[in-house]
Chains A and B, each alone.
Chain A
Amino acid sequence: MTTRAEFLERIREQVRMSPGRSPASSARRPQHPAAEAETIRRELVERWPETLEAFRREFEGVAGVFHRTASIDVVPAIVARIAHDRQAREVVTWHSAALGADLAPALGACGLDVHPMPAAEPSGGAERERLRTLAARADLGLTGVDLAIAETGTLVLVSGAGRPRSTSLLPPCHIAVFDRTALVESLRQAGVFLEAWHRDGRPPAGGSAINFITGPSRTADIELTLTRGVHGPKEVHAIFVEQPIRG
Chain B
Amino acid sequence: MSDAELTTPFRQRAGSAMKDEFLQEALTIATTKFIGLRREAFAGFPEGEALRDRARAIKEATLQHLDRHLETLIANVERLGGHVHFATTPAEARSIVVDIARRTGARMAVKAKSMATEEIHLNEALEAAGVTPVETDLGEYIIQLAHERPSHIIAPAIHKTKGQVAELFTRELKRPAEPDPEALTRIARAELREKFLQADLGITGANFAVADTGTVVLVTNEGNGRMVTSLPRVHVAVMGVEKVVPSFTDLMVFLAILAKSATGQKLSVYTSLVQGPRRAGELEGPEEFHLVLLDGGRIAQIGGPLREALSCLRCGACLNVCPVYRQIGGHAYGYTYPGPIGILLTAMLEGAPAVRDLAHASSLCGACVDACPVRIDIPRMLIELRREVDDEKLAPWTERVAFALLTKLLQNPRLYRFAAKAGRVLQRPFARDGRISRLPLPFGEWTRTRDLPPVASRTFQERWASDKDLRA
Contacts and interface: CB of A to CB of B under 8 A. Distances in A.
Q: A and B: real partners? A: yes
Contacts of A159: 282, 284-285
Interface in A214-239: 214-225, 227, 229-233
A110 interface: no
Interface in A4-27: 4, 6-8, 10-15, 17-18, 20-27
Contacts of A227: 181-182, 185
A208 B277 contact: yes
Interface in B75-97: 76, 79-80, 84, 86-88, 92, 95-96
Contact of A2 (B67, B86, B161, B284): B86
A165 B222 contact: no
A68 B26 CA distance: 43
A115 to B, nearest CB: 12
B282 A213 contact: no
Most chain B CB neighbours (cut-off 10 Å) among A6, A151, A212 = A212
B275 A26 contact: no
Interface of A: 1-4, 6-8, 10-15, 17-18, 20-30, 58, 62, 117, 119-122, 128, 131-132, 136, 151-154, 159-162, 164-166, 169, 187-188, 190-192, 194-195, 198, 201, 203, 206-225, 227, 229-233
B226 A25 contact: no
Contact of A27 (B60, B222, B249): B249
Contacts of B188: 230
Given A214-B269, A223-B29, A232-B222, A206 B185 contact: no
Contacts of B424: none
Given A3-B86, A165-B285, A208-B275, 15 more contacts: A2-B86, A6-B86, A11-B241, A18-B63, A18-B307, A62-B265, A187-B255, A209-B229, A215-B269, A217-B221, A217-B222, A221-B138, A225-B181, A230-B138, A231-B189
Interface string B305-318: 00100000000000
B279 A208 contact: yes
Interface string B260-295: 000101111111111111111111110000000101
Interface stretch (B51-59, B358-366, B395-403, B433-441): B51-59
A116 B325 CA distance: 51
Contacts of A18: 63-64, 302-303, 307
Interface stretch (B121-129, B191-199, B342-350): B191-199
Nearest to A159: B282
A192 B252 CA distance: 10
B247 interface: yes
B102 interface: no
A195 B162 contact: no
B86 A58 contact: no
A198 B273 CA distance: 12
A217 B265 CA distance: 13
Interface stretch (B150-158, B445-453, B460-468): B150-158
Contacts of A212: 267, 270-273
Contact of B222 (A13, A14, A20, A231): A231
9 contacts: A18-B302, A18-B307, A132-B283, A218-B222, A218-B269, A219-B185, A230-B188, A230-B221, A231-B226
A120 B281 contact: yes
Interface string B177-211: 00001101100110011001100000000000000
B269 A7 contact: no
A93 B213 CA distance: 29
A162 B266 contact: no
A151 B65 CA distance: 32
Contact of B282 (A27, A161, A220, A225): A161
A27 B248 CA distance: 9
B181 A208 contact: no
A143 B13 CA distance: 52
Given A11-B299, A15-B67, A195 B256 contact: no
Interface pairs A-B: 3 shortest CB-CB: A161-B281, A232-B223, A221-B139
A21 B162 CA distance: 46
B223 A230 contact: yes
B162 to A, nearest CB: 5
B60 A21 contact: yes
Contacts of A20: 60, 63-64
B79 A201 contact: yes
Contacts of B307: 18
B302 A209 contact: no
A21 B252 CA distance: 23
Contact of A121 (B227, B269, B281): B281
B134 interface: no
